[in-house]
Amino acid sequence: MSNFIPGQPLVAVVQRIEIKKLRQGDNLILGFSIGGGIDQDPGQNPFSDDKADKGIYVTRITPGGPAETADLRMGDKIMQVNGYDMTMMTHDQARKRLTKKNEDVVRLLVTRKSLEEAVKNSMGGYQRQ
Amino acid sequence: MEGNGEISDTDSGIILHSGSDSPMTHMKDVTTHTRAMKLKHQALQERLEICLLELKKVCIREAELTGRLSDDYPLLPGEKPPQIRRRIGAAFKFDEQSFPRGAEESELSFVDAELALQMKIYEAVRKLCEEVHPSKAVKKSRLQQCKREEKKLKRLQETAFQLRLEHGRSSPLPAFNIAQHDLGTSDDSSLSDSVVQDEEVTSQSSQLSSGLPDPGETDPPRLPSVSSQSFSKSSYMSPSAAPQNLPQTPSQSPHPSLTSTPSFSSSPASDLPPIQHSPWTESSLDQPYQKNRKSRSSNKSSSFKTELLPPLEAVFASHLKLGHSQSNSTPSTPEMRVHRQLSLRIPNPESPFERERGRTRSARRRLTEFAITLPDAPLPAVNYANYVNSEDSNSEHSFSSYNSSPCQELPCDSPKQYQSAFVHSGPGGSCGTQGFPSTGFYHNPRQQSSPGFPKAYYTEETAYRPELDLARGYYTQRAPCAPNRYEYYYKDPAVLHQRAQRPLPPDIRLSPSPAQWEHPQYRSNGLPKQVVNEQLTSWHHRSQLKSPRSCSLDRQGAVRVKNISARETAFHQNQKYHEQVIQRRALQREETRWVVDDGSHFMSQV
């Protein structure tokens, strides 16, 4: 993930995560916060290895919230939401995508360091570039 | 480089080994021994050289990044330290006056210094902005940066000015002088290459980076020292981020050619990121999207909602009541008509409130459209009137209740009603003529209405003209069963001309003459086509979703029943609003009927 070359296919190890939004009155609660987006300064992202990575990252998980239940973790990078690519989105677009009122469930594809490493190790560094 | 080191390492290692072996041969031959020693020495020297070279390179690299040549740089006795040019960064010359020496008024002088700096930054950025660059993205980002810096500058100027005022000093001159002065001097340093080419970087120059990401919309970074007259802006880039920026800089030569005193350069990055970044923030997803982002239109509509909701509820309630009593009409009918009317009104640029209404009622419309097309809001009275007018659709019959003659409507009443309506819409001026008269006009043909109405009618018509095709299609589809007044709108002017020339059925005696069609308002009232388009398409869809209703049933059958309830509501509820509502309803009902009458006629012409 970290060495993404524009124009080249991107290889990422992703995990499927399905979050059922919690309905609280009018609000749908996801139970996590995101940061990042192509309109934000990636250098300040504390979660990314590659400081040029403008992806959407999970910055906070509300304890006991739907996201935690779904095993989303802080620092996860969100790759897709309900099939929509999230790696080239502005922060706002990402928020919109995630907080759609008419969707009670969001299916995420996330990638995280531990995942990558685990796969890399199991593949004997095959993925290393 | 690492590779080099390793290689030399192993090389020498081998030789060292042979050297360590040499004690064995030591006894044998002095010549071989010296030879071995020589070899060893040579190898060591070679290795040393390589290491030194490597060290030099590293030092230079470091200096290029930090702007300071490390003390570890290996200098041969006669050798001068190489002059390091920082790869990125900009240097600005400042007037001495911009940095008052005294420690007094520290805040002011501080702001002054910042201001002076910001001036330079702004100038540089502006120049960058003006520069021709092939890449659009770069241009854009430069423009954005320019704007940002300008904003910062203005803010600083303001603070400086205010501080000065506070301090009783009136002239913010120093800072402004700098800006002017600098226009000339900074010309020679081309920021586009992000290279400092200023040999006279003295104690008064300061180096700064203009392309740094701005951490937050906070104040510009505090400057470490003002009194020393040279200050540097330390880099915001984390060390790991800085190297990434390097490849983007055009000048990559590791060998410094131009000079600048290294010790004064401090910040690495002035190359512009392709996208202007806002600071990295996080946002919780537990709140609905709209709430956190304050979009203008949503704010607007919500405020309107609170403002206008009570009347709406009241009207709607009565509306529902009436709808119930109106036995035969399909339940969806009122809705449909409401939508239709609202969407038709939408293009009217003068009645934004009504649009907001429309939005709250039929939430399908998109906010942005409203925001874009809204001019200034007219007076609430107008809105309300319009709103009421457009609001109801179901209870037209109620009107007749007053007159107790359901079929022959109110020749006496309606003008008065119209008047009252008009009074309401009066403050809005053109709004009134556009919103109301349309109903009034339709109502009035039977009642010899005033000549002013057709005009309004035409203005409305203009707005819809772009949609003629769509509307026509729609009407041809459902023509036989549910004609209504709106089809009238969608006739081509040409068709209407035709019609006007033909013998007219009694109902449309007052239909516009060709001359009226040519009325100035007819053409002048252009609207953004796509807005109209959007509205009409949505309306079209909505209307098609409804089942075509039978025109006869809800038209004549339920009239009397409704009358009662209408009267009740009128009496029991807020008079001011309801009178109007009911009147409006009556008017609309009448329109409808009127159009129904000659609907087939129109249809045949399309």
B450: left (phi over 0), alpha (psi -120 to 50) or beta: beta
Q: Which of B20-34, B511-525, B574-588 has maximum average pLDDT?
A: B20-34
Bigger pLDDT: B117 vs B199: B117
The whole-number average pLDDT for the span B526-543 is 65
Residue B271's nearest CA partner among B142, B384, B146, B175 is: B142
Bigger pLDDT: B480 vs A79: A79
Residue contact B286–A29, C-beta within 8 A: yes
pLDDT digits (tens, 9 = 90+) for B113-132: 788 888 888 888 888 877 77
Residue contact A99–B288, C-beta within 8 A: yes
Residue contact B288–A92, C-beta within 8 A: no
A54 pLDDT above the threshold of 70: yes
Residue contact B213–A99, C-beta within 8 A: no
pTM: 0.26
For an interface test with A, the pick among B218, B282, B287 (most A C-beta atoms closer than 10 Å) comes out as B282
Question: How does the average pLDDT of chain B come out, rounded?
Answer: 52
Q: Which of A111-115, B20-24, B186-190, B356-360 has maximum average pLDDT?
A: A111-115
Residue contact A27–B286, C-beta within 8 A: yes
Residue contact A92–B281, C-beta within 8 A: no
B570 pLDDT above the threshold of 70: no
Contact B248/B271 with Cβ under 8 angstroms? yes
The whole-number average pLDDT for the span A82-111 is 88
Residue contact A43–B280, C-beta within 8 A: yes
Confidence of residue B42 (pLDDT cuts 50, 70, 90): very high
Residue spans of the domains in chain A: they are 14-125
Bigger pLDDT: B580 vs A58: A58
The whole-number average pLDDT for the span A112-124 is 77
> With b meaning 16 or more CB within 10 Å and e meaning fewer, what string describes B159-173?
bbbebbeeeeeeebe
Residues 6+ away with beta carbon under 8 Å from B233: B117, B206, B207, B208, B209, B212, B221, B223, B266, B267
The whole-number average pLDDT for the span B518-546 is 59
A46 pLDDT above the threshold of 70: yes
Confidence of residue B597 (pLDDT cuts 50, 70, 90): very low
Confidence of residue A39 (pLDDT cuts 50, 70, 90): confident
> Percent of chain B beyond pLDDT 90?
2
The whole-number average pLDDT for the span A27-38 is 88
How far is it, in rounded angstroms, from Cα B375 to Cα B548? Answer: 36
Q: Give the A:B interface size as CB pairs under 8 Å.
A: 80
Q: Is B525 helix (H, G, I), strand (E, B) or coil?
A: coil
B53 pLDDT above the threshold of 60: yes
- pLDDT in the model for residue B595: 43
Among A33, A38, A39, beta carbon nearest to B285:
A33
Residue contact A59–B277, C-beta within 8 A: no
B47 pLDDT above the threshold of 90: yes
- pLDDT in the model for residue B39: 92
The whole-number average pLDDT for the span B342-351 is 42
What are A's interface residues with B at a Cβ cutoff of 8 A?
Answer: 26-36, 38-45, 51-52, 59-60, 62, 65, 91-92, 95-96, 98-99, 101
Long-range contacts of B505-508 (CB under 8 A, 24+ apart): B505/B597, B505/B598, B505/B601, B507/B445, B507/B446, B507/B594, B507/B597, B507/B598, B508/B445, B508/B598, B508/B601
The whole-number average pLDDT for the span B132-148 is 81
For residue B284, the chain A residue with the least C-alpha distance is A33
pLDDT digits (tens, 9 = 90+) for B315-331: 444 444 444 444 444 44
Closest-CA distance, A28 to chain B, in angstroms, reads: 6
B37 pLDDT above the threshold of 80: yes
Domain A14-125, CATH number (from 3.50.50.60, 3.20.20.70, 3.40.50.2300, 2.30.42.10): 2.30.42.10
- pLDDT in the model for residue B339: 42
B26 pLDDT above the threshold of 90: no
pLDDT digits (tens, 9 = 90+) for B454-468: 444 444 444 444 444
Residue contact A31–B279, C-beta within 8 A: no
The whole-number average pLDDT for the span B222-228 is 39
Contacts B286 to A, Cβ<8 Å: 27, 29-31, 62, 65
- pLDDT in the model for residue B70: 75
Report ipTM for this prediction: 0.74
A21 pLDDT above the threshold of 80: yes
The whole-number average pLDDT for the span B5-14 is 43
Residues 6+ away with beta carbon under 8 Å from B151: none
Q: Which of B278-292, B385-399, B417-431 has maximum average pLDDT?
A: B278-292
Closest-CA distance, B276 to chain A, in angstroms, reads: 7
- pLDDT in the model for residue B94: 63
A32 pLDDT above the threshold of 50: yes
Closest-CA distance, A69 to chain B, in angstroms, reads: 15
- pLDDT in the model for residue B583: 53
Bigger pLDDT: A35 vs B233: A35
Closest-CA distance, A18 to chain B, in angstroms, reads: 15
A33 pLDDT above the threshold of 60: yes
Among B273, B276, B285, beta carbon nearest to A99:
B285
pLDDT digits (tens, 9 = 90+) for B576-586: 454 454 455 55
